[in-house]
Structure 1
Amino acid sequence: MIKIYHNPRCSKSRQGVEILEKSGKEFEIVKYLDAVPSEKELSEIIKMLGISPIELVRKNEKIWKENYKGKELSDSEIIKAMVENPKLIERPIVINHKKAVVGRPPENISSII
């Protein structure tokens, strides 16, 4: 089953849902600001994406700039920061089996559906 980590207030995230709807495939929407992934889940997602945790951080968010920017953080500290402040998680994230992509640009989603 395809899963999209979605923020309804984000235009790129809404475009991602639209791409999935047009694909005709069944998918699940996870509103990750309400259903925040655990540190373990987020670690698994990052592994599927094939990136480091810092690459999934929205570095222009006020929370990041005020609390984390310029600090030496370990990968686990970065993951913990994203779980405590889910607005920091880049979006949308689409997972299909063991493959995942960040839908920025939204066309990236087509590569795994």
Structure 2
Amino acid sequence: MLKIYHNPRCRKSREGLAIVDASGEEFEIVKYLDNPPSYLELAAILGKLNLKPIELVRKNETVWKEQFKNRELSDKEIIQAMVDHPKLIERPIVVKNNEAVVGRPPENINELFK
């Protein structure tokens, strides 16, 4: 089953949700700002995305600029920052079995349906 980590206030996330919905596959919506992933869940998602933690961070968010920018952070510290401040997580993320994509642009999500 598909899982989409979704922020309803984000246009790209809404576009991604529309692509998932149109796929006809069963899916679960995770409003990750209300229900943030755990450290282990986020680490597993990063593995499926094949990304380094810093590559999933929204670096223009105020919390990043004020608390983390220009600091030497380990991958573990970056993951913990995203867990503590889920607004930092790039969106949407769609997971299907052992694969995942970031829906930026939303058309990336179509890769999961090939």
TM-score band, normalised by shorter chain: over 0.9
Partners of 1:54 and 1:42 in 2: CA distance: 12
Residue in 2 aligned with 1:99? 99
Residue in 1 aligned with 2:6? 6
What percent of counterpart residues are identical? 65
TM-score, normalised relative to structure 1: 0.99
**SS of aligned partner of 2:101:** strand
Shift of residue 54, structure 1, vs aligned partner: 0.2
Partners of 1:36 and 1:19 in 2: CA distance: 22
Residue in 2 aligned with 1:45? 45
**1:31 maps to 2:31:** yes
Shift of residue 24, structure 1, vs aligned partner: 1.1
Q: Which consecutive unaligned segments of at least 5 residues does structure 1 have?
A: none
Shift of residue 58, structure 1, vs aligned partner: 0.1
Residue in 2 aligned with 1:71? 71
**SS of aligned partner of 1:71:** coil
Partners of 1:88 and 1:46 in 2: CA distance: 14
TM-score, normalised relative to structure 2: 0.98
Shift of residue 6, structure 1, vs aligned partner: 0.2
Q: Which consecutive unaligned segments of at least 5 residues does structure 2 have?
A: none
Give the number of equivalent residue pairs. 113
